[in-house]
Structure 1
Amino acid sequence: MSVVDSQWIVGVVSSGFRLLWREEKAPLTRVPPRFKPPFSQEARSVLQSEIASLEQKGAVERVRVHSSLGFYGRLVAVPKASGGWRPVLDLSLLNTFLREIKFKMETPASVRDSLRPGDWVTSIDLTDAYFHILMHPTDRKWLRFRWGDQIYQFRALPFGLSLAPWIFTMVVRQVCALVRSQGIRLRAYLDDWLIMNQSQSGCSQDTLTVLRESNWLGFSINRVKSELTPSQTFTYLGMSFDTVAWTVQPSQRRVDKLQAQIRSTLPLLMASIRSLASILGQIESMALLVSLGRVHKCPLQFALKPFVDSPLVDWDALIPLQGWFQSATLPWLHTEWVCRGVPIVVPLPDLDLFTDASREGWGAHTDLQTPPFPLLSRVIRKAEMEEPALLLLVAPLWPSQVWFPDLLRLAQGPPIPLALVLGELVQPRTGIPHEEPSLLKLHVWKASTSSVYASHWKAWTAWCSARGVSSVAPRSIQVANHLSFMSSQGASVSSLRVRRSAISATLQQIGRSVRVGGVIAAVIKGAALKEAKARLPAPKWDLFLILEFLRSADFEPLSEASLFNVTRKALFLLLLATARRGSEVHALSGQPGDISFEPDGSASLRFRPDFLAKNQSPGQASPLVRVKALTSALAPGDPDSVNCPVRALRLYLARTQPIRSSSQKLLFISLLTRREKDLSKVTLARWVSSLIKQAYEWRRTKRGGVMPSLPLDSARAHETRAWASSLAVLRSRRLEEVLTTAYWRSEDVFINFYLRDVTALRQDGSRGLPALIAAGQFLSRT
């Protein structure tokens, strides 16, 4: 079974595990075979006690009908390394009928690769690991044993079944996927789990999360054997680690066992090949944990090679030891050397020598890494050690893998899914395609999706790590707390929004999500209002100065002003009265049927038919633009009445009527003779800008040059939109009404870029403020 999906695992957990046969099933018998019982009374007592314990735990059940068909094995008790006994059912014959499934388990090398300097570590040990998985009722008859006159069969996964390590590992991987998808670094070798974190508090929090998830899934924790207090020195899989000194060495128990076996063999003249091979195997397992260990294993390895190379080797045959055995094993009796330790991860070499040891390359390209999946851990480790490392890594979205939390931590932004191309994943040379490529969910993990998102995601993960919060499975309140913390440290509202977007986008790419509304939106909105009040910018130019200039002799009486000034005054007042964008005023139609003056003194205008506003959806009808008369809010004879936008519009239409041609469709037309094309919106903006600059120059001349000139980059026509909307807010209009009327989709845009302190420039033009506010009636949508 090359691909094991989660649904199959769910079936195993809920209904029980069914044996996987090669072809034929093992034969059943009605008569239980008789196995030789243990010779010693102590061994019989141990087995009797273990059987009673198995029955109490529900791991075995009594067979009521002794004549029913079944397959029988011999139950033995094997001493545990940590003390006590483990009941093992001898199923060596049954295992020959079962499928052999290759799978990967944790190795000393993979554990060492997963550690980082200064890591804090805890370990969790499961109680009766295999017994967590029940056997399917129909397959329990193959797991029987006889004790005295009673027949038992296993209800749970027994020790001794060749498929037991595989199926248990597959089930545990689902737990690992659940935990690793939350960014927790977890290693699991059967029932022995290791949890790592760079901070002590983070390790404690991760341990609590793993315990909570394990208990919820029904796993029983052995708290006596578990090490639940974070430590930087620990023993795992027979290796003793120190993440501060960054060293690893064989555990003292392994060293003592090896030295005891060597010392017991030294006085002998001859020893069996089996016992010498056992010593060599122990040395081999420790060679990478001892300085020059592989060099010092060679003498024993070379001496045994001629005896073990034969396929018909007799493992119980005796060979003379003479003096070679002592010289071959003497270094391994020096405890100080054996326990000196080596670096946990081999440092990068000073010189790289390259060679190709395989017949097929594995597809590495410049700035793009597509390694075989088993090499991903080492690729990620290399990228972490070589700083700065910039690459694109093609890897599956595979939360159950041990490298997944490290990939989440190092990835600069969210991964990008790759489109599935049939036949893309094939074996070299054979060309055989992958059985189910869709299950791999290949993604490109970029060195930087964007520099902004990358820095924000790293800051978020660092904040989570320091507080023991999962960066990839947060609750909304945790994200809100993070944003609130940023705000308290002086972060701008725009930074809060980008941080929120970076978190949300990354979580979506890995199949997670967080609700960005509710409490998160409330934090950002509160920060925006606080920032707006604290740092509300002044307008870029003085509106009241412009209005005073529009009442000057250059513009009034308006019927006697130049056509250019009439046009500019009508354009400016229309922009101010509608709070529209310049592109929208530019698109107003000048056709007779599209302009009308109402009995209440207001004017109604339409856009040209083909116009689509910035925030207008395709197919949505353009709204009617209504402009109210200023005289409706002023007393008769008020001098501000000359700045009425409806009055200026009437006079502008009357003055341009003689020069309009049928080809000119827009409201505002070119003032040049023989020009029949429509004006561009850039020209309208330039006219408004010239009006603003001229007003400042007019005031400087009037005051004898004492008034400062306007900065060249401040005379922007678009500022009329900010003035009009800010005055509406000052008039106590609801923010939602202002946003709707002025066609803003987001209040963030308005608060950050358009809201002004409109009282900042109330100089001698303040008399115009009440009238302007009173006249600032925004257009109603129809």
Structure 2
Amino acid sequence: QALVMEQEVETLLRKEAIEVVPPHDRESGFYSRYFIVPKKDGGLRPIIDLHWFVTIDLKDAYFHVSILPQHRKGEAYQYRVLPFGLALSPRTFAKCADAALVPLRLQGIRILNYIDDWLILAASKSLAARHRDVVLTHMKTLGLRLNGKKSVLSPLQRRGVGFDHDAGTSVSCSDRVDPRRSRESQRRPVTHCETVSTTAGSDGSRVQHDTFWPAVHETLTVVAQNQGVLPEGKPASQDPVNCPVGTVLEFLQARFSTGLSHSTLKVYVAAISAYHAPLGGLSVGKDPLVVRFLRGVLRLRPPTRPHVPVWDLAVVLEALCRPPFEPIEEIPVRFLTIKTALLLALTSLKRVGDLQALSVALTHLEFAPGMTKAFLYRRPGYVPKVPTKTPQPVVLQAFCPPAFREPDQQKLNCMCPVRALDAYVHRAALWRKSDQLFVCYGPPKKGHPATKQSISRWIIDAISTAYESSDLPSPLGVKAHSTHAMAASKALMLGVPIQDICNAAGWSMPLTFV
């Protein structure tokens, strides 16, 4: 893989897509891991109403968009053009492509574009060829590179929405038709039809006889009939794209009556607005009646946020000192794992993402003499939610290490994060397959790195188990992130300086919380 990565870097250098970062800029900017995945064509990827058509595919599409020199930041190499794998790359490239295609559309050329895949539509084969030549010339003028391997510059059969299209026919894809339906239909009388439609709109129409329709169309049709934008009981004959605002309001009122919140109804309105025709020149979401309705919903059903945690820290800590969490040398690995995850979340004030980034590599985990402290560092390349100039270790302080002078000291030691961490690291070393601190303890991914979702479940599981072991009902609605607020509030009540709390929790300032 290292050899393939080196070859990929050399390829990007040849394409002038990346460049070496100047030494004075290497300590700034955001750093990202770089990996490659195979393409369908065998290469590697780093992270209609008309009969005749031509498809055009751009080669290295995002690399056509240059980045201003003052915005080029990175590690050993920095991109000079729009990179693949960036979340905003598709939208940015689509905006640039739309602007580039405006002159062609003003000439009457029908061209559909989706990122780097373009489709030219024409009424005849000769017109499609002429438009193709115009588009290719325009691309050359703009400096756009054509991907000849993936482009189809002459009419050829293409599959779309469950059909095979070519110059003269449009038939269902045989590999997506249920053979049992085909046999049943063959026994019926043959029906002839001269012309179904002269527009590509026939793809969206549907008649009662649906034997040859592939499963995707049937599913979409059932959803449109049963779960469309119309309330239950409304006839499906109403057009969800052009229905009046009253129908939309009836639908929203029905959903409100079922108990949906204001935020959920806003999502419904956004979804309807995406497909509904404008009402008086405005989208459905901006219609005055819809706006008034949502305001009324907000007044009648305002959002609520719990200001008091749904679980008690004292109950949980007390339970960690007895079975099934003790004795720590003998308990099953599940209880050791969830106890360690909970104690680290409480004592470090770190988010779940920060806990997932911790490593047990020799240079990233250190225990102080006498097990009085533990120092944990995040893996290289991890960028926390609140970045700092220099990586700060997670420092864990031991609670009353042996020898014990009083019974309370032994009880405090049962809550010690350093003790739990040491026991977990030694136990997990038997099946560990990754340097990440927290690894899965059960099949089928035993030993593999745990996801943030898994660590969150472990923290919630530890709290629920603590309540159950105390013969108390498990609290509802517990979130792993609640340990953040719980530990910070407790530290503030005990007199810890608020700036120290912010530094440990990764908060840039305390103004939001005090």
Same fold? TM cut 0.5: no
User: TM-score category by the smaller chain?
Assistant: 0.3 to 0.5
The structure with the largest alpha-carbon Rg is 1
Relative to the length of structure 2, the TM-score reads: 0.38
